Amino acid sequence: MDRDSVLEQLTQLDFMALDLAMYLDTHPDDRDAITHYNAVINDAQSVREKFEQLFGPLCSFRSESSPDNWGWIECPWPWECDANFTLKGDC
């Protein structure tokens, strides 16, 4: 998988987790939703770890860094185009 595909998959999973969390705020006893939420969180963590192994840290405060190298500085910054996947129709 290329960088954009993995980043897009992670974005989708994080969005689903946020959406499910908002649903659970109003339906805290929905066991199926809780199970689905936990599965999405686990899937997102797996994809996040995969992304960071292949392409480097996603953010400076959530990822470990090598004792010899502050790797975060070498990755594209969040406001740079290279840090984000391109949606269809974008220039």
Within a domain: residue 77?
yes
pLDDT in the model for residue 73: 62
Contact call for residues 30 and 24 (beta carbons, < 8 A): yes
Counting the structural domains of the chain, the total is: 1
* Parent domain of 20: 3-83
Q: Are the C-beta atoms of residues 9 and 47 closer than 8 Å to each other? A: yes
Residues of the chain with pLDDT under 70: 60-75, 87-91
Both tokens assigned to 54: 């292949």
Spatial CB neighbours of 51, under 8 Å, sequence gap ≥ 6: 3, 6, 7, 10, 58
Considering the domain boundaries, does residue 91 fall inside one? Answer: no
Closest CA to 38 of 51, 20, 61: 20
User: pTM, whole model, 2 decimals?
Assistant: 0.72
